[in-house]
Amino acid sequence: MSAPLNVVVLNGSPSFPSKTAALGQEIVTRLAAHVPVAASTVNVAELVPFFGDTYGDPRSPVAAALETIAAADLLIAASPIYKGSYTGLFKHVVDLLSPSALLGKPVLLVATGGSERHTLALEHQFRPLFGFFQADTLPVTIYGHDSEFTDYQVTGEGLDSRIDKAIARALPFLSADAREATLLPVI
Ligand SMILES: Cc1cc2nc3c(=O)[nH]c(=O)nc-3n(C[C@H](O)[C@H](O)[C@H](O)COP(=O)(O)O)c2cc1C
């Protein structure tokens, strides 16, 4: 039997509670209905006190978070939309990753926003960012807007079905065979 899929949610929200965190958790729960999953979350808000002069310190929570992200079989890269893009804190953590940390890694792009207007930020802002890392961004992204959450839980039917569609399209990229293939050296 293959090892469970190591799923890491990177939540770029500076707030707690967080709709983005709730959406990330919901995606993990639904994914676990299809494949065995071992999940963890990196909340950028928790790293804020450790930004500064600790980047090089291997004992820093920032270093541990970067290692967690680099070890993921699937990265759920999730951020609230701020001013039409990911948050500054989300970008700051991504900035600290080694350029090779996400090479060939499946990345599911996820955002929450106050309105539907910024859905395409996932294509125009998030996808190129992960293109820099030569990550394998998955074909269908997930965007949830404020009216699709109640008390920090996913309640919108539209969002509900968009999550299922994105997972269905992601699954072929997450099989044991696909994971083996991503380990092959690039020639
Ligand atoms: C500083 C700030 C800027 C924001 N900018 C946008 C924006 O440009 N477009 C949008 O749709 N929502 C915007 N929002 C709303 C958030 O993206 C939305 O409420 C999100 O779901 C919050 O996620 P969280 O609960 O995980 O923090 C903004 C919110 C804040 C606080």
When pLDDT is cut at 50, 70 and 90, the band that residue 59 belongs to is confident
> Is residue 45 within 8 Å of 78, Cβ to Cβ?
no
User: Is residue 35 scored above 70 in pLDDT?
Assistant: yes
State the average pLDDT for the chain: 93
114 CA distance to ligand 1 middle (Å): 5
Supply the pLDDT for residue 178. Answer: 72
Supply the pLDDT for residue 176. Answer: 74
39 CA distance to ligand 1 middle (Å): 25
128 CA distance to ligand 1 middle (Å): 20
- Using the atom order of ligand 1, give the atom closest to the CA of residue 115: 11
Tracing tokens 């079905």 back to the chain, one arrives at 161
- Give the percent of the chain with pLDDT over 70: 93
pLDDT digits (tens, 9 = 90+) for 112-152: 999 999 999 999 999 999 999 999 999 999 999 999 999 99
> Which residues sit with their C-beta closer than 6 Å to ligand 1?
13, 15, 18-20, 80-84, 112-115, 117-118, 146
The answer regarding whether domain 5-181 maps to CATH 3.40.50.360 reads yes
Supply the pLDDT for residue 54. Answer: 59
Q: Where are the domains of the chain?
A: 5-181
pLDDT digits (tens, 9 = 90+) for 96-120: 999 999 999 999 999 999 999 999 9
Cβ count within 10 A of residue 109: 27
Supply the pLDDT for residue 106. Answer: 98
User: Is residue 183 scored above 60 in pLDDT?
Assistant: no
Mean pLDDT calculated for residue range 24-43: 98
Supply the pLDDT for residue 52. Answer: 81
121 CA distance to ligand 1 middle (Å): 12
